[in-house]
A and B are shown apart, each in its own frame.
Chain A
């Protein structure tokens, strides 16, 4: 029965209706859909990256990447993102063992590290804005702000989602719905680290090259 050709029939034994068919499992159906969404998010980031690549040199006489990016804070931010992702990973390992308290605690750690990242980022941009280095100054600055802050906005949504998940875990325990949402959040959060690799490399590091 491995070919796509029609099956040879034995008239008495053709099964017309499969009433034992269990159907797809809900969790993997949900994570597949969310992964597809994540790929659309990748394309969205790609379009903003394209804008950055085209506008990168357009500083209109204003400050360029060299003046605007600071490598050490960026590396600290990198460490914070990766650590937050790692903490969430430990939460997922705790999920495997069904340890509710552990899951909640490690999501909390991930939340704090992520919030730390956002705090640093907001501080970075506030400092720039105070010096008059604002997105309306040039095409380069528009795309720099937008690319980095779009990632930041995703991180913010992730933090909100973490808070919601903690509430759901505490109220409902590990139901099917809670579990697939945790799996989706894992995908979402890990993805922010993936995007950050590109931002760190092609915005911050490339800015200083």
Chain B
């Protein structure tokens, strides 16, 4: 072996040993018990509703973009909850460990989490929230909505779409596994060198972090190729570029960022892996490494990444705000240009993440100016949303509240961002909690938009609305929580509190930390209402049935489908006549959804191969983390082998005849019996996203 490994290593099981299971840590044992309990509850629930066969045949091998999108969002929400618990733990530790007289519990000198574990918690909080929570939710929404908004039946590459989902899930699974077997990284979500080099991080933590992100990022990149190709190639006739909804334009712009920037992350992590596995000297402190090289390459990705997250959020807001203002979006062309502009200019700002590195004033000035320039495009968007709402007939349903909340935090995040773009200020507050509060303001924007998007499109996907009362409570408690957590944080940043502190030495900061704790308590209340909303909504789903035009004032093409959307999306591909096609048709009374003539529909078959590849990718990541070389080699060969084998398959699609389509569509025209509180009527075609027991018999599962 070319590197010196601390701890035992055997050819059979690599670095694995029973010592790697944290038996002695009560917090992790508690987490394990909680996870087991949830697992058992899910198992029981699925068994009770006799859904094993249904899930195994309809969801696991699905290549339907809507189902894949739902699964992406589920993964994201689960991981968001885990990341949220990490946040609560961080806040609590920082409150309890203030001043030299603060008490220590559970092996910690101060507070209740020793530094060794605290570092893992903030590292996993960042990694999970950015890569495995928000990204899957936004990718999931784009997956569901973009094909519907352009009038397509599915994405350009349905099989690849499923593969992206399962690779993302494999990455998330690696992160979750690190909680119970070994450690996670102690070196932050960024993973700066030389701290992440083997001598300073000799455990498996950084390896978990590295492979989780690498595998997940391959999934994201494949998804981006898919969405771009779909938008270029699969638009319905008449859907010209400047008739596409702004959400689709934002999806295009954001995925252009992915295909350009994510490979640089892959390169940066690849070189770090070479350092850690083969003893090379890319980022080492000696023998010709350059410790700043990683920082440079990482942030080349890292800055476009945050725009990758925010552009879909802007897209969601651009859909929600016009619908609930009952007005078309103001300034469509400038919105589109601004989205593309953000996508382009975001490529020239990355050094603002390390102004303090020590480069000369000319370099710093360039990056400062471009960082300020990119704010112009966002400003254009903000004004356009404001002018959309001006003189609109506003309705404050839950999605609109989310959107307005997102807009408010955008102000704060954006203005503090402009402050940080000035090196003189940045030198003072770099890596203080002012920075944390700044980017969390943006993350509030993004997560508000994501949740708003979920509640906005939920009725379209599932056929019933989410409960409004509890939903509004989620919004308000979340907004209140965010204000009360992050305002003191800005102040503490100015007062000199640095980030990632497991022990706070200044007792004078205590009152502000108490305020932050109140804020996180409000977040917990919001989380409670979120769970309650899901429960109530599913319980009351029959009385909250949604029509095609679920919100009454929707404008874009995805609303021109039945709710829930049938698995083939449109019986016949629509002809597009205008921007906001659905609004155009409503104005002319052309709201009929069922066409007169039908045609055969070709769809791709379900296949288990993507899920298998995801599982093998997980095994590969696991083997690389624990340095089990034989397993890694087998997994790699299996990946290549399965891909090659599948490429020989010729028959990967199936046909629904025009007659079958007509039968399913005509059922929508039958008058609905009074079904309040009852099960779905027999005549209703159960061919939506959730209930598809009526799939035509020819939908066999291919290889």
Q: Is B94 an interface residue (CB 8 A)?
A: no
Knowing A16-B575, A146-B271 are in contact, say whether A136-B2 is a contact too (CB < 8 A): yes
Knowing A16-B574, A16-B590, A33-B225 are in contact, say whether A44-B648 is a contact too (CB < 8 A): no
Q: Is A164 an interface residue (CB 8 A)?
A: yes
Nearest neighbor of A62 in chain B, beta-carbon distance: B288
Cα(A181)–Cα(B572), bound, Å: 30
B640: A residues at CB distance < 8 A: 160
Cβ A29 vs Cβ B233 within 8 A: yes
Cα(A175)–Cα(B652), bound, Å: 14
Cβ A55 vs Cβ B290 within 8 A: yes
Contact of B293 among A14, A21, A40, A51 (CB under 8 A): A51
Proximity bits, A1-40, B CB within 8 Å = 1, else 0: 0001111010100111111010110001100110011011
Contact of A32 among B233, B270, B574 (CB under 8 A): B233
A interface secondary structure, majority: helix
A54: B residues at CB distance < 8 A: 290, 293, 296
Q: Is B281 an interface residue (CB 8 A)?
A: yes
Stretch binding the partner chain, chosen from B6-14, B442-450, B595-603: B595-603
Nearest neighbor of B228 in chain A, beta-carbon distance: A36
Cα(A48)–Cα(B584), bound, Å: 50
B241: A residues at CB distance < 8 A: 4
Interface residue ranges of B234-268 to A (CB < 8 Å): 234, 236-238, 240-243, 259-264, 266-268
Cβ A19 vs Cβ B264 within 8 A: no
Cβ A168 vs Cβ B590 within 8 A: no
Cα(A33)–Cα(B155), bound, Å: 12
Q: Is B289 an interface residue (CB 8 A)?
A: yes
Cα(A143)–Cα(B268), bound, Å: 12
Interface residue ranges of A129-177 to B (CB < 8 Å): 135-143, 145-146, 160, 164, 167-168, 171-172, 175, 177
Interface residue ranges of B553-575 to A (CB < 8 Å): 571-575
Cβ A44 vs Cβ B280 within 8 A: no
Minimum CB–CB distance for B358 against chain A, Å: 15
Minimum CB–CB distance for A141 against chain B, Å: 8
Interface residue ranges of B27-50 to A (CB < 8 Å): none
A100: B residues at CB distance < 8 A: none
Minimum CB–CB distance for A50 against chain B, Å: 7
Q: Is B156 an interface residue (CB 8 A)?
A: yes
Q: Is B682 an interface residue (CB 8 A)?
A: no
B575: A residues at CB distance < 8 A: 15-18
Cα(A54)–Cα(B292), bound, Å: 10
Nearest neighbor of A42 in chain B, beta-carbon distance: B263
B259: A residues at CB distance < 8 A: 36, 39-40, 43
Q: Is B157 an interface residue (CB 8 A)?
A: yes
Cβ A47 vs Cβ B647 within 8 A: no
Contact of B598 among A19, A48, A146, A175 (CB under 8 A): A19
Cβ B225 vs Cβ A59 within 8 A: no
Cβ A142 vs Cβ B280 within 8 A: yes
Q: Is B88 an interface residue (CB 8 A)?
A: no
Knowing A15-B575, A24-B233, A60-B287 are in contact, say whether A142-B281 is a contact too (CB < 8 A): yes
Cβ A18 vs Cβ B242 within 8 A: no
Knowing A4-B242, A32-B233, A137-B287 are in contact, say whether A16-B271 is a contact too (CB < 8 A): no
Cα(A167)–Cα(B243), bound, Å: 45
Q: Is B375 an interface residue (CB 8 A)?
A: no
Minimum CB–CB distance for B336 against chain A, Å: 11
- Name the residue among A19, A50, A142, A145 with the largest chain B CB count within 10 angstroms: A142
Q: Is B308 an interface residue (CB 8 A)?
A: no
Size of the B side of the interface (Cβ < 8 Å), in residues, is: 70
Cβ A44 vs Cβ B267 within 8 A: yes
Nearest neighbor of B153 in chain A, beta-carbon distance: A23
Minimum CB–CB distance for A200 against chain B, Å: 20
Contact of A164 among B160, B595, B596, B647 (CB under 8 A): B647
Q: Is A78 an interface residue (CB 8 A)?
A: no
Nearest neighbor of A146 in chain B, beta-carbon distance: B274
Cβ A51 vs Cβ B271 within 8 A: yes
B233: A residues at CB distance < 8 A: 24, 28-29, 32
Contact of A47 among B2, B268, B290, B573 (CB under 8 A): B268
A32: B residues at CB distance < 8 A: 229, 232-233
Minimum CB–CB distance for A149 against chain B, Å: 10
Proximity bits, B273-310, A CB within 8 Å = 1, else 0: 01100111110101111100100110010000000000
Minimum CB–CB distance for B13 against chain A, Å: 26
Cα(A6)–Cα(B576), bound, Å: 9
A171: B residues at CB distance < 8 A: 648
Cβ B647 vs Cβ A181 within 8 A: yes
Cβ A138 vs Cβ B578 within 8 A: no
Knowing A41-B263, A44-B263 are in contact, say whether A168-B648 is a contact too (CB < 8 A): yes
Contact of B156 among A29, A62, A139, A141 (CB under 8 A): A29
Nearest neighbor of B658 in chain A, beta-carbon distance: A19
Cα(A136)–Cα(B271), bound, Å: 13
B297: A residues at CB distance < 8 A: 47, 50-51
Cβ A6 vs Cβ B288 within 8 A: no
Cα(A62)–Cα(B274), bound, Å: 20
Cβ A44 vs Cβ B266 within 8 A: yes
Contact of B243 among A4, A16, A164 (CB under 8 A): A4
Cβ A40 vs Cβ B290 within 8 A: no
Contact of B595 among A19, A43, A160 (CB under 8 A): A19
Q: Is A58 an interface residue (CB 8 A)?
A: yes
B293: A residues at CB distance < 8 A: 51, 54-55
Q: Is B579 an interface residue (CB 8 A)?
A: yes
Cα(A132)–Cα(B270), bound, Å: 24
Cα(A60)–Cα(B284), bound, Å: 12
Knowing A43-B264, A58-B288, A168-B647 are in contact, say whether A17-B282 is a contact too (CB < 8 A): no
A128: B residues at CB distance < 8 A: none
Cβ A6 vs Cβ B578 within 8 A: yes
Interface residue ranges of B182-218 to A (CB < 8 Å): none
Cα(A33)–Cα(B579), bound, Å: 27
Q: Is B18 an interface residue (CB 8 A)?
A: no
Cβ B577 vs Cβ A7 within 8 A: yes
Cβ B598 vs Cβ A24 within 8 A: no
Knowing A40-B262, A175-B650 are in contact, say whether A33-B2 is a contact too (CB < 8 A): no
Q: Is B226 an interface residue (CB 8 A)?
A: yes
Cα(A14)–Cα(B576), bound, Å: 10
Cα(A25)–Cα(B111), bound, Å: 63
Cβ A17 vs Cβ B287 within 8 A: no
A–B pairs, 12, beta carbons within 8 Å: A17-B575, A18-B572, A36-B259, A40-B225, A40-B262, A47-B268, A62-B288, A135-B278, A139-B288, A142-B288, A146-B271, A164-B647
- Minimum-distance CB pairs A-B, first 5: A47-B267, A139-B288, A6-B578, A58-B288, A142-B280
